[in-house]
Structure 1
Amino acid sequence: MVLKIFFPQCCNMADSGLLVGRWIPGQDSAVVLAVIHYPFIPGQVKRYLSQLQSESQVELAVLGSWSMPKEGQEGMESFLRDLSTIFPRGRWLQLSREIGQRGFACQVVRAPPADGEGDGGDGDGNGGEGEVIFVHYEQRKVMLSQLHPPEGAGGGGGGGAELLQLRLVFRTVAQSQPLFFIDKYDDGPLKLTHWQSQGREASIIVELAKQASVPLCLLLTWLLSLWTWLCSIRLLNLSPVRFVSSKLSTCVQVSYRTEHLQTVSSPKKASEHKSFMRKANIFVSFLLDVALGLLLISWLYRENRIGRLADTLVPLADRVAKELQELLEWLMGAPAGLKMNRALDQVLGRFFLYHIHLWISYIHLMSPFIEGILWYVGLCACLGLTFALSVLSDIVALLTFHIYCFYVYGARLYCLKIYGLSSLWRLFRGKKWNVLRQRVDSCSYDLDQLFIGTLLFTILLFLLPTTALYYLVFTLLHLVVVVLQGLIHLSVDFINSFPLFAMALRLFQPYRLAEGVKFRVLSEEPGKPLHLMMEINPLRYSSVLQWYRTPTYSCYPKDSWAALCKKLFVGELLYPWRHKGTKID
């Protein structure tokens, strides 16, 4: 049987006293948390431990004694050994260290009999308990660390038992924080040695931030409740308003940030590690977003960049419209030497040219107001860079709305012909589509039906190349706009979901996010216990991103690439604003 004793490095040179810690339930191991120095009164120690158990919810107990030889304390070891009768446990650890030696000896003494005769030990170095292994650990790192299960870790076998033991050790140290509030310099009946023995860590800035966060959270909660009340007005909940707001990226980002601010300003304390990390990641992401937005504002409103941008926007829209007009005139001729249906080609070309004429007239009508609109729209960047990018996405969608209309017209016409040809092709094979059972069934047609079907099939087939060419051209233009909007949405999604706080912890304090531990041999001498050093393996950056990425809406297509190609082939519409989980009726 191997007895594991997890021993803190800060107690290696502690004065003689009692070992305070916990026996791991179901595991043949013990965790040492602190050393209570002599002199002490056993009754005070018991009252102190019972008080700590109610505060930390950890079953703390006296595990044994610790001896560090000093002048004038020659009989200290025998005195501490006799204390096993006052603090009865199943086993009593007697640890001693000699100055100048790296390791220290251990004797495990069984609890004395009821009549108090004998000490229960057999006098050997390990007290008849078998091999003893000391696992040294850095108490502060283990207390602040969060152990994550490694990838591919199974629940059974020896690996699962070792992982459970490590989790219990980490949890015991983390839940024993009230034990670390008293150090050996405090005026009190008990003097302890633990990781804060040289004085408790404190930060004036952190304490002031904690005090100031309470009124700020109350003010933010009141403002959010007022905003929620304004959004719940009946006029804003009408179907047309809700439909338009659900398609605008700015409105979606506002609702998303409102939900995040409600999470951050919630008075409920984040007791769990994951909820705390979520709040911290959202808060840091919001601060970074606002900082980038303020930098953008400082750049936009210097050297009259807003005016120059407005002067560039109208000629750019005219240039795009002119290029589209030239493209349509090219399609109305003989594009690439293809022989098109003249009548249909002229009808489609003139129809789209009329839309371009309307669009140019609209742009020139709005040109005197564009600079003022951009000036006020640029102020939204003070809410964050994501708001500015969302507004940019909506501006791109509005400026290219005529391209989207061309794509919808071409796709609907192409889809109608594709489905008409497929339905007529089933007619020639004596089949029909059963709408009720959603399958193809056999059917018999008379001569008139076959004649009409053949006539319609011939007409649709000869008109298909002209329609397909227009559909192909406008689909490619629409995909260019979708890719541009997709890049903007990806940038917004990256800022919203990137766990910046967790990544900073992984970079500057890698022990805070642990994936496991590794052991290094400190001392291995024959006849003496083995001493190991437990070091924390930090979580990989990819795992940090996977664990702490903030859930957010996504602009990625819901369908696979095969389904996307199928939609393009049959002419189904691609919605650039369609997010995961949304349904289009």
Structure 2
Amino acid sequence: MVLKAFFPTCCASADSGLLVGRWVPEQGSAVVLAVVHFPFIPAQVKELLAQVQRASRVAVAVLGTWSHRRLEPEEGLGRLLEGLGAIFPHEPWLQLCREKGSRCWSCKAVHRQAPGAPSEDQVMVVFYDQRKVLLSQLHLPAAQPGHEAGDALGSAGGLAAVFDTVARSQALFRSDRFDGGPVRLSHWQSEGVEASLLVELAKQAAGPICLLLTCLLSLVSAVSACRVFKLWPLPFVQSKLSTCEQVGHRLEHLTLVFSTQKAGSPAQLMRKANVLVSVLLDVALGLALLSWLYRKDRTGQLADTLVPVADRVAEELQRLLQWLMGAPAGLKMNRALDQVLGRFFLYHIHLWISYIHLTSPFVERVLWHVGLSACLGLTVALSLLSDIIALLTFHIYCFYVYGARLYHLKIHGLSSLWRLFRGKKWNVLRQRVDSCSYDLDQLFIGTLLFTILVFLLPTTALYYLVFTLLRLLVVAVQGLIRLLVGLLNSLPLYSVGLRLCRPYRLAAGVKFRVLEQEAGKPLCLLMQINPLSYSRVVDTYRLPSCGCHPKHSWGSLCRKLFFGELIYPWRQKRDKQD
């Protein structure tokens, strides 16, 4: 039987001593964590291991002996190492030895309690970088369809056990904090732990600062939950404004970042780091935008440009309506209905132009104060820009609603009258189409109404088509802004940076490279970490966004447009979809 011994590369040149680690019987492997050097007192070693087990809840034990014959004389070493097996009983007992004057290793596992003569097993040595394995997070692949979970994890179970053992054995690497006596160990922190004065000062100051900011955020949350803000129509307006939604989303992020509660798992710690980096980048981009706006009086330039642009849009809409009131593209329209609809929309445009000219003296002051919102982050400024676009194009939305309602009413009427001709009717109680018999008067009135609606439909459909295209153009612009806001909110920037700078921290698996392979000698492999791909990093650590826009399929969107149903891009996800 061939057993696997995972040996840390930092201990390859250590002095002879005891192998301390964990035995994984299910995988037939031993994970070596450290080497205890001579001289030592066995009672102190046992006490140290007991304290490590209580602190880390890992079954750490003495697995065998390690002999480095390049550094140690051979006289009496073999008898000493064999005698240690009686003091630290373990089955099997590993014996790892590096030959003197050679790069070859001698590895075997002795079963001393076997019936008859003690039996020996060959050992395959797998070297691993203890620091990288300790700091990395292993992401096992999900079970494939049609395979059992045990089959999917069978090959990865031993690998997961290795990573879990090293990750949970940090107490052994900090063994100098235990009162186990002068026991000298070799592991990845044997030469000391690097420390930074600035990092230590930041850790000491982080607690009071986080506590203070948590209290301030709690006060802001309490003020926002006041009854005054729940009076109608404030809740309705807040639910429709992207700015209020984004501010609330960032408030949740700040509450998570400055929470004094310790993260319970590496995934929660990674999420907290991603949120912190996302907030910092958002604020930095917002401050850059703020600096650009208030430099060289760009807010005044925007105000001077905004009013002429609004006038130009209104003039183009007037020309469009005048074109529709004539013979658009050579189409013959219903003259009376065309004139009524055209004059109705022209009157709304006249009201809108009057409103723009009335508010034009205050535009620069409003933009100056609105620009201050960029200090809260670029996402807040973009959300405010989306709301401003919605307000400036409110007349286009009104035109779209009028045209859609009128078009939907005629489509609904035509479908009902078409069922009348076929002897059918809509059963409201049972929500189905049933057969029905109509008399002559009903059929005559239905035919008259059907004819009127059919001849009026092209004029209504043309107005509906034009204003729907204008509305979709505005929705597309708002959708691009919301897409950028959602990207800034959900992109796991810390995880992506970690994958770029330290790819071993996010492990998708491992690969093995053969180091030594000679006849009669144990196989020596080097375990290297395969990092996660960037796409999988983004999918795994993506942050939840505050987007409230429902995702319509192309089929449902075309159906809504054909039947004249209103499309509300701000409808909440919890609302019932049509």
Report the alpha carbon displacement of residue 219 of structure 1 after superposing the two structures with TM. 1.5
User: In the alignment, is residue 217 of structure 1 matched against residue 230 of structure 2?
Assistant: no
Tell me how large the CA RMSD over aligned residues is: 1.9
Corresponding residue number in structure 2 for 1:469: 462
Report the alpha carbon displacement of residue 183 of structure 1 after superposing the two structures with TM. 7.3
Please give the alpha-carbon distance, in whole angstroms, between the structure 1 residues aligned to 2:549 and 2:67. Answer: 64
Corresponding residue number in structure 2 for 1:65: 65
150-159 or 568-577, which moves further after superposition? 150-159
User: In the alignment, is residue 143 of structure 1 matched against residue 134 of structure 2?
Assistant: yes
Q: 2:438 aligns with which of 445, 464, 468?
A: 445
Q: Please give the residue correspondences for 1:31-42 in structure 2 after superposition, counting only pairs within 5 Å.
A: 31-42=31-42
The verdict on how the C-alpha distance between 1:368 and 1:583 changes in structure 2, with shifts beyond 3 A counting, is farther
Name the aligned partner's letter for residue 375 of structure 2.
C
The verdict on how the C-alpha distance between 1:383 and 1:95 changes in structure 2, with shifts beyond 3 A counting, is same
Q: Is the 8 A contact 1:558 1:579 kept in 2?
A: no
Please give the alpha-carbon distance, in whole angstroms, between the structure 1 residues aligned to 2:102 and 2:188. Answer: 22
Q: Is the 8 A contact 2:513 2:527 kept in 1?
A: yes
Provide runs of 4+ in structure 1 moved above 4 Å.
151-159
The verdict on how the C-alpha distance between 1:420 and 1:158 changes in structure 2, with shifts beyond 3 A counting, is closer
Q: Please give the residue correspondences for 1:184-223 in structure 2 after superposition, counting only pairs within 5 Å.
A: 189-223=182-216
Q: Please give the residue correspondences for 1:270-285 in structure 2 after superposition, counting only pairs within 5 Å.
A: 270-285=263-278
Q: How many residues align?
A: 574
User: In the alignment, is residue 518 of structure 1 matched against residue 511 of structure 2?
Assistant: yes
Report the alpha carbon displacement of residue 203 of structure 1 after superposing the two structures with TM. 2.8
Name the aligned partner's letter for residue 542 of structure 1.
S
Report the alpha carbon displacement of residue 63 of structure 1 after superposing the two structures with TM. 0.3
Q: Is the 8 A contact 2:142 2:152 kept in 1?
A: no
Name the aligned partner's letter for residue 118 of structure 2.
G
Report the alpha carbon displacement of residue 111 of structure 1 after superposing the two structures with TM. 3.8
Q: Where does structure 1 lack aligned partners over 5 or more consecutive residues?
A: none
Corresponding residue number in structure 2 for 1:499: 492
Q: Please give the residue correspondences for 1:524-539 in structure 2 after superposition, counting only pairs within 5 Å.
A: 524-539=517-532
The verdict on how the C-alpha distance between 1:228 and 1:158 changes in structure 2, with shifts beyond 3 A counting, is closer
User: In the alignment, is residue 28 of structure 1 matched against residue 21 of structure 2?
Assistant: no
Q: Is the 8 A contact 2:549 2:569 kept in 1?
A: no
How many percent of aligned residue pairs carry the same amino acid? 67
Please give the alpha-carbon distance, in whole angstroms, between the structure 2 residues aligned to 1:137 and 1:204. Answer: 31
Query: Structure 2 length as normaliser, TM-score?
Result: 0.96
Corresponding residue number in structure 2 for 1:107: 108
The verdict on how the C-alpha distance between 1:100 and 1:240 changes in structure 2, with shifts beyond 3 A counting, is farther
State the Cα deviation string for residues 93-136 of structure 1 (Å, max 9, x = none). Answer: 111112443331113222458xxx99x634xxxx1x2x421111
Q: Is the 8 A contact 1:553 1:579 kept in 2?
A: no
Q: Is the 8 A contact 1:4 1:132 kept in 2?
A: yes
Please give the alpha-carbon distance, in whole angstroms, between the structure 2 residues aligned to 1:459 and 1:238. Answer: 46
Name the aligned partner's letter for residue 316 of structure 2.
E
Q: Please give the residue correspondences for 1:429-444 in structure 2 after superposition, counting only pairs within 5 Å.
A: 429-444=422-437
Please give the alpha-carbon distance, in whole angstroms, between the structure 1 residues aligned to 2:475 and 2:331. Answer: 29
Q: Where does structure 2 lack aligned partners over 5 or more consecutive residues?
A: none
Corresponding residue number in structure 2 for 1:7: 7
Query: Equivalent residue of 1:212, what SS?
Result: helix
Report the alpha carbon displacement of residue 333 of structure 1 after superposing the two structures with TM. 0.8
Name the aligned partner's letter for residue 477 of structure 2.
L
336-345 or 186-195, which moves further after superposition? 186-195
Query: Equivalent residue of 1:135, what SS?
Result: strand
Query: Equivalent residue of 1:27, what SS?
Result: coil
Q: Is the 8 A contact 1:490 1:555 kept in 2?
A: no
State the Cα deviation string for residues 159-199 of structure 1 (Å, max 9, x = none). Answer: 52121111111000000011112479x99511111111221
Name the aligned partner's letter for residue 15 of structure 2.
D
The verdict on how the C-alpha distance between 1:71 and 1:88 changes in structure 2, with shifts beyond 3 A counting, is closer
Name the aligned partner's letter for residue 62 of structure 1.
V
Corresponding residue number in structure 2 for 1:320: 313
User: In the alignment, is residue 250 of structure 1 matched against residue 264 of structure 2?
Assistant: no
Q: Is the 8 A contact 1:277 1:502 kept in 2?
A: yes
Report the alpha carbon displacement of residue 208 of structure 1 after superposing the two structures with TM. 2.2
User: In the alignment, is residue 398 of structure 1 matched against residue 399 of structure 2?
Assistant: no
Query: Equivalent residue of 2:302, what SS?
Result: helix
Query: Structure 1 length as normaliser, TM-score?
Result: 0.95
Corresponding residue number in structure 1 for 2:81: 80
Report the alpha carbon displacement of residue 536 of structure 1 after superposing the two structures with TM. 0.8
70-79 or 384-393, which moves further after superposition? 70-79
Please give the alpha-carbon distance, in whole angstroms, between the structure 2 residues aligned to 1:419 and 1:537. Answer: 60
The verdict on how the C-alpha distance between 1:412 and 1:542 changes in structure 2, with shifts beyond 3 A counting, is same
Please give the alpha-carbon distance, in whole angstroms, between the structure 2 residues aligned to 1:95 and 1:403. Answer: 80
The verdict on how the C-alpha distance between 1:121 and 1:353 changes in structure 2, with shifts beyond 3 A counting, is same
Q: Is the 8 A contact 2:246 2:546 kept in 1?
A: no
User: In the alignment, is residue 349 of structure 1 matched against residue 342 of structure 2?
Assistant: yes
Name the aligned partner's letter for residue 3 of structure 1.
L
Q: Is the 8 A contact 2:414 2:453 kept in 1?
A: yes
Q: 2:123 aligns with which of 123, 132, 140?
A: 132
431-440 or 411-420, which moves further after superposition? 431-440
User: In the alignment, is residue 44 of structure 1 matched against residue 37 of structure 2?
Assistant: no
